[in-house]
Amino acid sequence: MLKSLIQSLNAWSHWGCDGVESHSLQRKIFHVNVAAFIAILSMAFFAVLNALTGNAALIKSDIAQIPFYFFVLAVPWLNRRGHAGFARWLLSLSVTAAIAANIWLANGSWLDLHFYFILIALLGVLFFPLRQWVSIVLLFVVNASLFVYCGYFGVEPDPALLSLDATTATIFRATYVSTSLFTLLFITWLGEYVANKNERELEKLSGMDQLTQLPNRRRLEQRLAEKIAVSKRTGQRGAVMFLDLDNFKPLNDAHGHAAGDMLLQEVARRIRGCIREIDMVARFGGDEFVILLSELGTDKEDAKWRAAQVAEKIRVTLAEPYRIAARAAQGPTGQVEHRCPASIGVEMFVGGAMSEVDILKRADAAMYEAKEHGRNAVRFHEEKQHAWDNPQLPATV
């Protein structure tokens, strides 16, 4: 039940966010919804405290708050309906009016309730986009002026309020001030949290291929540059493998792009299963993939042997048949069996002898050499034939 309640509150706080594309505006709407929820909780909390005192002035203030519950509850609904601007103003003015009514009808300046005016004055920056700076300034001036008036000129409380004992009055003063400060800190922190989360998601998306969920070319080049720098410091050798599928286009032509997409996803899964966690596989584009191996050791021949073992493992794994759900597939399962081996070019690197662009070019050239020599093979750059090339498997076109 608690989990369901949390999910409902989370959905409620995001009402209207899916109606705008700007992450900045989504944060503003989220802030307003959360602030509306906090306002309702705060009003209900103080209504209970007021009722427990039995004080006639505080109970009168509770009755005066009732219309504002409905105004504040309408805020998320307005956001959901696409009226974000109206929702901001309704929340801001409703809370300001609720505090003002409470002060002038009952509390006066005696219990420091006017600290909530400062809260609303400052939260305007989080509620309104910066381009609506006039609204921000207006909201700040109105609430700051009310705070100054209540604090320095004063408003007389309802006489019945003066019957509160000193301890209860102190508790109310401390609660009003502390909750207003806490609300400001919480919503500010929440804004920073959401902003950082959005930034991380955008950064992830900018470096991710959406089909295969692999890093894309941009992220690969960044990681390769990092590994080159590390190699320069440590002397550890690495390898870049440029991989191109040998029989991908016939599947696309015969069964459509959906079948091709499923095959690419399976290729990504198989390659990931062949490499270590410290290594990287990226989709370079189309049916091309690049594998980055690092920390292969400082010895040249040993590092090369390790890279060859991984390349051969990938080649053998990708040469296994694929079963793809495809349109017009024959048989009761609605699947087509397709073979799609790969040509793999490998370039070793150590230190900063070559740039990432040159390393990728050499690996790409080695991959084309593998294609020219029958496909379904591994070639190292500027080398003709290796013991790890496997001529037994049939080349596919």
pLDDT given at position 378:
94
pLDDT given at position 2:
73
pLDDT given at position 307:
96
DSSP 184-249: HHHHHHHHHHHHHHHHHHHHHHHTB-TTT--B-HHHHHHHHHHHHHHHHHH---EEEEEEEESS-H
pLDDT given at position 112:
94
pLDDT digits (tens, 9 = 90+) for 39-65: 999 999 999 999 999 999 999 999 999
Which residues have a Cβ under 8 Å from the Cβ of 235 and sit 6 or more positions away? 298, 350, 351
Task: Provide the terminal-to-terminal Cα distance of the chain, rounded to the nearest Å.
Answer: 58
Q: Render the burial of 57-71: b for 16+ CB within 10 Å, e for the rest.
A: bbbbbbeebeebbeb
Bridge partners of residue 293, in order along the sequence? 239
Residue ranges of domains in the chain, CATH in brackets: 2-206 (no CATH), 217-380 (3.30.70.270)
Smallest Cα–Cα separation from 309: which of 396, 394, 388?
Answer: 388
Q: How confident is the model over 204-232, as a mean pLDDT? A: 86
Which residues have a Cβ under 8 Å from the Cβ of 46 and sit 6 or more positions away? 175
Smallest Cα–Cα separation from 173: which of 107, 237, 232, 243?
Answer: 107
pLDDT digits (tens, 9 = 90+) for 333-377: 568 889 999 999 999 999 878 888 999 999 999 999 999 988 999
pLDDT given at position 397:
29
Q: Render the burial of 108-136: b for 16+ CB within 10 Å, e for the rest.
A: bbbbbbbbbbbbbbbbbebbbbeebeebb
Task: Using the predicted structure, report yes or no on whether residue 207 has a pLDDT greater than 60.
Answer: yes
Smallest Cα–Cα separation from 275: which of 304, 305, 310?
Answer: 310
Q: Percent of the chain beyond pLDDT 70?
A: 92
Q: Chain-wide mean pLDDT for the chain? A: 88
Task: Using the predicted structure, report yes or no on whether residue 386 has a pLDDT greater than 60.
Answer: no
CA distances from 380 to 60, 226, 383, 385 (A): 85, 22, 6, 8
> With contact defined as beta carbons under 8 Å apart, do 239 and 347 qualify?
yes
Which one-letter amino acid corresponds to residue 5? L
Least confident of 55-59, 91-95, 256-260, 276-280: 256-260
pLDDT digits (tens, 9 = 90+) for 96-146: 999 999 999 999 999 999 999 999 999 988 899 888 999 999 999 999 999
- State pTM to two decimals: 0.60
Compute the Cα dihedral for 53, 54, 55, 57 and give only its sign.
positive
Q: What is the largest CA-CA distance in the chain?
A: 100
pLDDT digits (tens, 9 = 90+) for 275-324: 999 999 999 988 999 999 999 999 999 999 999 999 999 999 999 999 98
CA distances from 6 to 16, 97, 190, 192, 291 (A): 18, 30, 16, 21, 42
